[in-house]
Amino acid sequence: MVSGGRAVTTEALREFAKHLDRLEESLQKSADMVGSCVADPGLFGIFGGQAYGAGASMHCGKARDQLNKYAENMQKFSDKMHEAAKLYESNEQDSEKLITAAGDGIEEVKVK
């Protein structure tokens, strides 16, 4: 199929969508890992460690939320790529049927 003057294959769209699925899964795993990080409060003493631990936990939570949002956006993009592949395939099949049907009923012309 040609789109905007560029050849696009349904298989290429599907492969890219699968790549996005894998990327989304990796982002989710990273978010889970970052979100589970815990700072050792004993590292800087009781008082300093408490402040450090609270700050580190807060920043890990923010990073987790950002990674989850990025993964969510990646999933939306992946879903749209899967849908685009389906539409391209459907359009290719419809075009093929129309081209084939265009010749129906036309008699063969024989040159004498």
Comparing 20 with 49, the larger pLDDT belongs to 20
Q: How far apart are CA 31 and CA 63, in angstroms?
A: 7
Give pLDDT, residue 111: 74
Question: Tokens representing 65?
Answer: 């939320």
Q: Hey, where are the domains in the chain? A: 10-107
Q: Which residue has the higher pLDDT, 71 or 102?
A: 71
Alpha carbons within 13 angstroms on the beta-carbon side of residue 11 total: 0
Buried b (16+ CB within 10 A) or exposed e, 84-112: bbeebbeeeeeeeeeeeeeeeeeeeeeee
Q: How far apart are CA 88 and CA 12, in angstroms?
A: 11
pLDDT of residue 7: 74
The per-residue pLDDT for 74 is: 93
What mean pLDDT comes out for the span 32-57? 72
